[in-house]
Amino acid sequence: MKILVLSSQAKNTGSTLRAEYFFKYLKRENSLTDYFSPPFNCLPIFLDFILSFFYYFFRVLNKRYDLIFIVKPYPNTVLPCLLLKLKGAKVIIDIDDLDYGYRGGFISGILKFMQERLINFADYLTSHNDELIELIKKQHPGYKDKIYKLKQCVDLELFKIKKKDIDMAKKIKQKYKNKRILFYMANLNIASYLDEILLALSSIKYKYIILLIAGGGPLLNYYKKISCKLKMENKVEFLGAKKQKELIKYILAADVCLVYYKNIPVNKYRASMKLREYLTLKKQVIANNVGEMKEFNNFIILSKSNLKDFAKCIKNKINSLDKINKKGYKYILNNYNWEKEVKNFYNFFIKGKVLW
């Protein structure tokens, strides 16, 4: 069986990482699985979507697949793949976010209108969040019995502690000797809320903290300006965009890793990849109680949803965060393993012949 995996978003996004992890393990189950990597990083005014439409169109032209798995319903991937659907391919669309919820006004309306119609080209849907699945069922009742929960998981082969990572983490700790290291990673876009985290930390007057920020993205320079405006140059270091395997040493060096979602409706429907990755490396995590975060209550330090309490939680806990988080690690190992998750997907759709 020939299978194609695509990500609608740019190459430096969490959605594309989800597609890449999924492809990696699906390829092991089915050797005839292809993945066309997005050709661009995020570009201004949605230019990466426009240009990648032509890229994907020519990549699929004259090809034939039995199944297409698309992460996010956008025209740049869904419309070219209609050529394959006409040849008999089945289409699964993965909805991993409520994209229109991050914006307001005209753009939000356009995104919602467009995605709701593109979803209708799918033979089946997947999503990683129970709240989001219920919303999809309400908005698309025809898919009530055609939604499969594909969890947000971790590549346990990649996020595995190796001696070289431990050695490099020791060097990082030495560089910031006598400081508590906070760590945050994200694609720095409209959904990252780094400005809120910086604001929270600016209220903590300790001189012995340093926040390491890993990630590139369209708002990188904006967040740098915010840190300067808050006079936090001595407490913040921007590491820039890095590959996932390069981040491990920084996570291991950190005393605490941060996750923060602004308390707005769209964040009810998210599943944090970075939270899972932090726990995989046995790190202590401080997060605020928004959306799925409460499901990890037994494994992380959970503040109230508001920014003030998030800052207070960091301040109160920062001096006692030196224990390895074994409980969180075991929880991820047992429940969010990409290898197991993809095997279950393959058994359900391919071996189970759900679409045929």
Helix, coil or strand: residue 356: coil
Angle (nearest 5°) at CA 163 between 160 and 167: 120
In the chain, the percentage of residues whose pLDDT exceeds 90 is 92
Mean pLDDT of 237-248: 95
pLDDT category of residue 115 using cuts at 50, 70 and 90: very high
Q: Is-contact 69 38, C-beta < 8 A?
A: no
**Domain shared by 306 and 344, yes or no:** no
**Domain shared by 183 and 322, yes or no:** yes
- Residue 320 reports pLDDT greater than 80: no
Residue 301 makes CB contacts below 8 A (sequence gap 6+) with 256, 284, 285, 286, 287, 313, 317, 321
Angle (nearest 5°) at CA 336 between 331 and 342: 155
- Give me the helices (H) in 30-104, please: 47-60, 75-86
Average pLDDT, the chain: 95
pLDDT at 322: 62
**Domain shared by 188 and 100, yes or no:** no
Mean pLDDT of 119-148: 97
- Residue 336 reports pLDDT greater than 80: yes
Is 7 part of any domain?
Answer: yes
Helix, coil or strand: residue 93: strand
Q: Is-contact 3 69, C-beta < 8 A?
A: yes
Is 356 part of any domain?
Answer: no
Is 158 part of any domain?
Answer: no
Tokens at 247, concatenated: 């981040």
**Domain shared by 71 and 194, yes or no:** no
**Domain shared by 182 and 254, yes or no:** yes
Report DSSP state, residue 146: S
pTM: 0.95
pLDDT category of residue 350 using cuts at 50, 70 and 90: very high
Is 90 part of any domain?
Answer: yes
**Domain shared by 46 and 92, yes or no:** yes
pLDDT at 173: 95
Amino acid at 120: N
Q: Is-contact 81 113, C-beta < 8 A?
A: no
Give the integer Cα–Cα distance in Å for 7 and 81: 12
**Domain shared by 200 and 141, yes or no:** no
**Domain shared by 193 and 321, yes or no:** yes
**Domain shared by 313 and 343, yes or no:** no
Give the integer Cα–Cα distance in Å for 249 and 212: 12
Range of the domain at 30: 3-153+337-351
- Residue 323 reports pLDDT greater than 90: no
pLDDT at 321: 65
**Domain shared by 202 and 249, yes or no:** yes
pLDDT category of residue 43 using cuts at 50, 70 and 90: confident
Is 45 part of any domain?
Answer: yes
- Per-residue pLDDT tens digits for 148-165: 999 999 999 999 999 999
Tokens at 149, concatenated: 């929960």
- Give me the helices (H) in the chain, please: 14-29, 47-60, 75-86, 105-118, 130-139, 163-175, 194-202, 220-229, 244-253, 273-280, 307-317, 326-335, 338-346
Is 287 part of any domain?
Answer: yes
**Domain shared by 190 and 238, yes or no:** yes
What CATH number corresponds to the domain at position 76?
3.40.50.2000
- Residue 348 reports pLDDT greater than 80: yes
Is 136 part of any domain?
Answer: yes
Is 326 part of any domain?
Answer: yes
**Domain shared by 222 and 304, yes or no:** yes
pLDDT at 318: 83
What is the total count of domains within the chain? Answer: 2
